[in-house]
Amino acid sequence: GQAGAAGQVGDAPRGWPHEHAVIVDAGQLEEAARALAALPGSVLVSAAGVSVVGAFEGVATGREARIKAAEHRLNRARDTQETAAQAVHDCEEAVAEAQRRLDGAKAGVQLEELQARLAELIKALEEQAPAVAEAERQAAALDFRARTRDMEIERLEGRRQRHEAERTQAAAQEAKVAAEREALRLDALRADWGGTIETAREWIHALPEEERPRSAEEWWRVAERLADQALRDTFPEEEPEIPEELAFLLNERGGSAAREQATFAAVCGALASYLRAQEEYEKHQRRQIESQITTRQRDLSAATKGAEEAAQSTAVHRAALTAAIRARLTRVAEEFEKLDTDYGGYGATLEFPVPPAPADPEQRWQWRVTPKWRRGEGQGFVPYNRRANTALMDEKAVKLVCAAAIASSGGGHLCLVLDELGRNLGKEHRREAVALFRRIGETYGITVIGALQDDMEPYAIDACGQYIKLRRSSDAMPYNEPPIIIGHDQHAERVRALASYVDRGIPTPA
């Protein structure tokens, strides 16, 4: 080990404190430590596996050494102080624990004493409980009797006070009634009544409860108010005609209350007489009105029955008319479809929902018919008012007119008049329209008369049976020039047979 250590000295840094350092391999660390154990000073770094044995790791003398020595002493003193403080703390905790144990022991002794005292008190209480309960029962009974006596005293006292108040009120009422009886002059009132006291009592008992306590003055005011109301109801302001007797009494009663009371009976009698006469007159008027009502009700019943029959007849007629209109429009739609498909179209129809019947018979029962056609193969129907080519619309209009004429023929002779024929039609459409009209005329025996412009002449002159051309040289001439008439007939023999008849009467030119 020493040889190995000496072999390593040359590589170590020179200078104190490293001049006595020994560097060994980690595997020889324990052996080097045992060999150098007698030398002073050592350094051991376990984490790095380094151990220095012998010499010193720092300067052993000087200011730095003294400071380090003082720091070592200070650290040892602090460690000693902390150890002493921990010992003091442990002693204090031990003293506190002993104090708690002492307090617990004292509390245990006191608890035993209190439990013994409590047992004695419970025993004494159990011995005194029956006597206490009996005393409480007696006290409650005495208290109940005392409260019952006080309540009875209060009730009797209130009853006595109420009786005294009722007696005082009865005495006051007696005095008041006596004064009222004296003020009413019952003897004079009995004489005015003209009947017995029993009849007056019965009349008063028959009155409503709120009218019984009224005084004579109040009854007079009520009677006066009712009389005035009766006069106003009988003779309103818009009818100032009053009988002379009643008008005289009304003039006499004004001025004072005494005169009003004196003439009250006469006014009531005159008013009653007038009302009886008016009642007879109104009964007669009512009988006449009832007779007129009966007659008018009978007439109303007859008119109602006639109106019901007319309504039923109208409903039947309207149903038949609806069926006829639907049948005719259906036939027109079928002919419209047939003509459109035969002449280059894709199909056409008519939409005609049945309108509801009007509530008033005089109102118009308007049907709305909408022509529709297809613009392409397999497409849906488009209404006429959808934006489209004007020539196409005129073409469909021509076909619709022809369809209506065909559907309306019914085997009779018809005449179809057309104005402005071919106005918006193209060249090909004009030829088709003229051919269509010719076919309709020949097939269904319909005479077609069409007014057209000069530009339609090449198309119409070959298709019609007779062509009349009206001429006028200028707008200033009031009359047309002699017309040009051109006739066409495919039966030449008939034309030649009629030639002599047509030429008859026409002068032969020189």
- Model confidence over 156-177: pLDDT tens digits? 999 999 999 999 999 999 888 8
User: Could you tell me if 383 and 372 are in contact, meaning their C-beta atoms sit under 8 angstroms apart?
Assistant: yes
Whether the per-residue pLDDT at 94 is higher than 80: the answer is yes
Look at residues 501, 428, 420 and name the one whose alpha carbon lies nearest to residue 453. 420
Check pLDDT > 60 for residue 507.
no
Q: Is residue 8 pLDDT above 50, yes or no?
A: no
Mean pLDDT to the nearest integer, 93-107:
90
Query: For a pLDDT cut of 90, what percent of the chain falls above it?
Result: 16
Q: Which residues pair with 44 in a beta bridge?
A: 51
- Residue 51: name the closest of 14, 80, 22, 73 by CA: 22
Domain-located, residue 48: yes
Picking from 27, 53, 79, the residue at the C-terminal end of a domain is 53
pLDDT band with cut points at 50, 70 and 90 for residue 384: confident
Asked whether residue 6 is assigned to any structural domain, the reply reads yes
Last residue of a domain, one of 11, 37, 53: 53
Distances 436 to 21, 372, 470 between C-alpha atoms, Å: 139, 20, 24
Alpha carbons within 13 angstroms on the beta-carbon side of residue 298 total: 5
Instruction: Dump the DSSP string for 171-183.
Output: HHHHHHHHHHHHH
Number of H helices, E strands in the chain: 12, 9
DSSP string, 331-359: HHHHHHHHHHHHTT-S-EEEE-PPPPPPS
Q: Looking at 161-165, 239-243, 414-418, which range is the least confident one?
A: 239-243
- How far apart, in Å, are the Cα atoms of 382 and each of 344, 350, 385, 387, 411? 17, 11, 8, 10, 32
Q: Say if residue 50's pLDDT is above 80.
A: no
Look at residue 195 in the predicted model and tell me its pLDDT: 76
Domain count, the chain: 2
Domain region containing 40: 2-53
- Statement: residue 476 has pLDDT above 70: yes
Residue 83: inside a domain: no
Distance CA 248, CA 270 (A): 10
Q: What's residue 9's pLDDT?
A: 39
pLDDT higher than threshold 90 for residue 330: yes
**Cα–Cα distance measured from residue 371 to residue 384, given in angstroms and rounded to the nearest whole number:** 6
pLDDT band of residue 256 (cuts 50, 70, 90) is low
State the average pLDDT over residues 254-271: 74
Nearest CA-CA partner of 263 in 274, 249, 276, 273: 249
223 part of a folded domain: no
Residue-wise pLDDT tens digits, 52-67 = 544 455 555 568 878 8
Cα–Cα dist 288/290, whole Å: 5
pLDDT digits (tens, 9 = 90+) for 464-474: 777 788 877 77
pLDDT at 372 over 60: yes
Question: What is the SS3 assignment for 470?
Answer: strand
> The CATH number of the domain where 448 resides is what?
3.40.50.300
184 — pLDDT class (breaks 50, 70, 90): low
How far apart CA 61 and CA 256 sit, in angstroms, is 152
pLDDT computed for residue 254 by the predictor: 66
pLDDT in the model for residue 1? 39
Answer whether 426's CB lies under 8 Å from 396's CB.
no
Give, as one character, the DSSP assignment of residue 28. G
CB within 8 Å of 8: residues ≥ 6 apart: 22, 23, 24
2 against 146, higher pLDDT: 146
Identify the pLDDT of residue 320: 92
Q: Which two tokens stand for residue 20?
A: 């006595």
Percentage, residues of the chain above pLDDT 70? 83
126 φψ region: left (φ > 0), alpha (ψ -120 to 50), beta (else):
alpha
Q: What's the average model confidence in pLDDT over 128-156?
A: 89
Helices (H), 235-256: 244-252
Q: Which residues contact 318 (CB under 8 A, 6 or more apart)?
A: 357, 365
Is residue 120 in some structural domain?
no
Q: Is residue 60 part of a domain?
A: no
Whether residue 17 lies inside any domain: the answer is: yes
pLDDT band at 19 (very low <50, low <70, confident <90, very high): low
pLDDT of 7 > 50? The answer is: no
Confidence band of 502 (pLDDT split at 50, 70, 90): low
- State residue 255's pLDDT score: 62
* Residues 425, 395 contacting (CB under 8 angstroms): yes
Look at residue 475 and tell me if it is in a domain.
yes
Average pLDDT for the chain: 79
3-class SS of residue 50: strand
Determine the Cα angle at 400 with ends 398 and 404, to 5°. 120
- Tell me what pLDDT residue 11 has: 45
